[in-house]
Structure 1
Amino acid sequence: MNNLWRRFAVALEQYSECEDWPKLSSVDRKLATVLQQHGAKKPGDDKAYDQMVAAHHRAIERLAQHNQRLQQLMEQERSQRQGLRAYHQTELMNQREHSFYQ
């Protein structure tokens, strides 16, 4: 089992660091299956298991950070779109006023 926990830890680190979310999700599902079959352990009972748990926590944190960055980018995009829309509306109003006075 130690080797299995180490392989999970390496995969969790590797895929979360390079932001390969589909592969990370696949590893997470496989890990869940193994944990259901073998049961979770108490912290400190198995060093390789503890390392895998720590890697899993880091992967979750990286995913949360990535999600936060995406939300910020989406908010910036919305804000820019609203600003452009307001600019175009102002331009249209200026064109109408200009053509009205001519």
Structure 2
Amino acid sequence: MHAREFLSQHPLVVAPVLLGWRLAKDGCIVELTELEAYADTEDPGSHAHARRTPRNAPMFGEPGCAYVYFCYGNHWMLNIVAHEQGRAGAVLVRGARPIEGLARMRERRPGA
């Protein structure tokens, strides 16, 4: 199954399978270790709960895209958009283990 097809399922189905998947960008690779699923409007914890807004529009977009937002003026939050046709949802990346490019990651986050 192609990744985009797989991500076109309910976030509660997708999240457990994403554990162990790897994300790569500019010489850095991380393994997903902790995830949290947020479903459509039925999930009060979901940004999509109330309605579609400019801020949460990516949650209604194409599965497999990133939904990134700034939380509490302090943290950037990365979500992987995952949902069925005509719905909204995403999987929040709560934790990831560095696999490659640790020095570069440290350069990007000097205070971490």
Q: Structure 2 length as normaliser, TM-score? A: 0.22
Please say which structure displays the higher CA radius of gyration.
1
Q: Structure 1 length as normaliser, TM-score? A: 0.23
Of Structure 1 and Structure 2, which has the larger fraction of its residues in helix? 1
Of Structure 1 and Structure 2, which has the larger fraction of its residues in strand? 2
